[in-house]
Amino acid sequence: MSDRQQRYSAIAILLHWIIAALLAFELGLGRGLEHLTLATGLFDVTQLHKSIGITILLLSIARLGWRLLNPPPAPLPDSALNHVLAKTVHIGLYAFMIGAPLSGWLMVSTSKLDIDTLLFSTIPWPDIPWVGGLEASAKEALNGAAEWVHGALGWVGVALFALHVVGALRHHLLRGEPLLGRILPGAFGLRPNRGAMVIGLFALASVSLTLWAQNWGGGKAETPAPLAAEDMPATQTLKLNELQADAVEDEEPEATEATEDAEEEDDAAEDEAEDNAEQEEEPEEPATTAYDWRVTNKQPIGFAFVWNGETVRGSFSDWNATIRFGEQALDQSNIDVSIGLASARTGNAQVDEALPGADFFAIAANPRARFRSNDIRSLGGNRYEARGNLSLRGSSQPVTLRFTLDIDGTTASANGNASVNRAAFGIANGSYGDIADAVQVDFNFSASR
């Protein structure tokens, strides 16, 4: 019998081993995803998982097409039952190699997290076309079913792989048949003992590759997510250094008083000087008029939320504010802040890509958020709160902003925070139960009038 009749073709051999190596890595990578969160590389590893999955899908379809056009060698002599078992395992492996990526693709296409798939961060890959026209409820149901099938096929694939290896070892160790000679490059006529060693080494390498991929994917959870440029913690109040007072204005009255004291010679003049000195020593009453303040040292507005128990931090760099404020004229005071939602950055490119989308900020219809307050109240000392409304995603909800304000003449520094319920604005609702409702917002800036 010819070499061609005894062995698989070179293309079939190449596809077989490439797919086997990718499957081993992919199974481990999928397992590692269970330990990741948004803050610890979930999107990056998910994109790699999707990239390898689509690669396996395309290679498996090519492998199946090649098999149909180029039939494999005839089966080795065996019992009818073993032939049925072997054929069942082979069919199951093809179903797994094609079905697992397809179910994953369906998961991505029906996911509420609308993130484009870029194969290996380069090649755009579309969603399944017919899924786009489905109702939201149908998509959600289909997504749940696809997720279950995808997870189940992962375990089925492991079982089929084990049966495939056991079958090959049976032929080599128990029957003395060089089955591996058909599929190993340049290994036609391979001796049975050496074949057993080769398949054993491959099985060991596959297990090692799977475990390494799992540890690599899950190990990313130990690395904190990169923060935005300002690296601003959202769980503590931030403060600017207080601005220096204008010493000249404070010193001029003292110089005038010293001159007047030196020139006074009669009692009437001395009494007048004492009265002036007492008047200067009295503290100046806070202005009873509200003034317009201009932001002079604008820092990004920080935000933070919890996803799967991990804190994700980010910031908005595009914002402006109109502020009118007086310590003794709170009834005349007001705040109007506008935030460009497209400027949101978390330090994770995949998260930043998702935030403008329909499930999060939906900036296509509402590119800016706006907070307005005409109800500013003193909490004692330099502490205040502003009760107002936040307009976001076409919805307006009450929000209370608490802040401290240090005024020194015509300059001031402010820092504060607020808690925003993202669910009340329809942000990340539906399949995002692992994202906490509360989003903490922090700010600090200086201003002048």
DSSP string, 189-200: T--HHHHHHHHH
147: in domain: yes
Closest CA to 167 of 150, 183, 189, 185: 183
Closest CA to 132 of 124, 142, 144: 142
Residues 291 and 419 in one domain: yes
Residues 153 and 25 in one domain: yes
416: in domain: yes
Residues 32 and 178 in one domain: yes
**In the chain, how many domains are there?**
2
Going by their DSSP bridges, the two strands 301-307 and 123-125 should be labelled as unpaired
Considering Cα of 227, then 124, then 360, then 143, what sign does the dihedral take? negative
Residue 104: CB partners within 8 Å, gap ≥ 6?
49, 50, 53, 146, 150
Residues 207 and 106 in one domain: yes
137: in domain: yes
Residue 429, Ramachandran bin (φ over 0: left; ψ between -120 and 50: alpha; else beta): beta
Q: Are the C-beta atoms of residues 321 and 335 closer than 8 Å to each other? A: yes
Residue 213 has a pLDDT of 45
Residues 331 and 197 in one domain: no
Extract the tokens encoding 153.
Answer: 């096929």
> Of 200, 222, 244, at which residue does a domain stop?
222
404: in domain: yes
Going by their DSSP bridges, the two strands 117-119 and 123-125 should be labelled as antiparallel
Residues 213 and 339 in one domain: no
Residue type, 426: G
**Domain membership of residue 14 as a residue range:** 3-222
Q: How many angstroms separate the CA atoms of 403 and 394, rounded?
A: 26
Closest CA to 178 of 186, 168, 167: 168
Residues 11 and 86 in one domain: yes
How many C-beta atoms lie closer than 10 Å to residue 134's C-beta? 14
Give residue 275's Cα distance to chain centre.
67
CATH number at residue 370: 2.40.128.110
Residues 63 and 141 in one domain: yes
Residues 292 and 184 in one domain: no
As to burial, measured by CB atoms within 10 angstroms (0-12 exposed, 13-18 middle, 19+ buried), residue 448 is middle
Q: Are the C-beta atoms of residues 344 and 315 closer than 8 Å to each other? A: yes
> What is the residue whose two structure tokens read 């073709």?
9
As to burial, measured by CB atoms within 10 angstroms (0-12 exposed, 13-18 middle, 19+ buried), residue 196 is middle
Q: How far is CA 411 from CA 79, 423, 428, in A?
A: 93, 38, 40
278: in domain: no
User: Global pTM?
Assistant: 0.53
> Of 222, 252, 273, at which residue does a domain stop?
222
Q: How many angstroms separate the CA atoms of 353 and 319, rounded?
A: 20
Residues 68 and 215 in one domain: yes
Q: How many angstroms separate the CA atoms of 70 and 7, rounded?
A: 11
Residue type, 166: V
Give residue 210's Cα distance to chain centre.
25
Helices (H), 264-339: 267-281
Residues 36 and 136 in one domain: yes
Q: How many angstroms separate the CA atoms of 297 and 294, rounded?
A: 9
Considering Cα of 290, then 295, then 297, then 301, what sign does the dihedral take? positive
392: in domain: yes
Extract the tokens encoding 163.
Answer: 């049966």
> Of 222, 248, 272, at which residue does a domain stop?
222
Q: How many angstroms separate the CA atoms of 266 and 232, rounded?
A: 63
As to burial, measured by CB atoms within 10 angstroms (0-12 exposed, 13-18 middle, 19+ buried), residue 55 is middle
Residues 134 and 213 in one domain: yes
236: in domain: no
Q: How many angstroms separate the CA atoms of 280 and 252, rounded?
A: 11
* Residues of the chain below pLDDT 50: 1-4, 187-193, 195-196, 212-214, 216-265, 277-285
Classified as helix, coil or strand, 298 is: strand
231: in domain: no
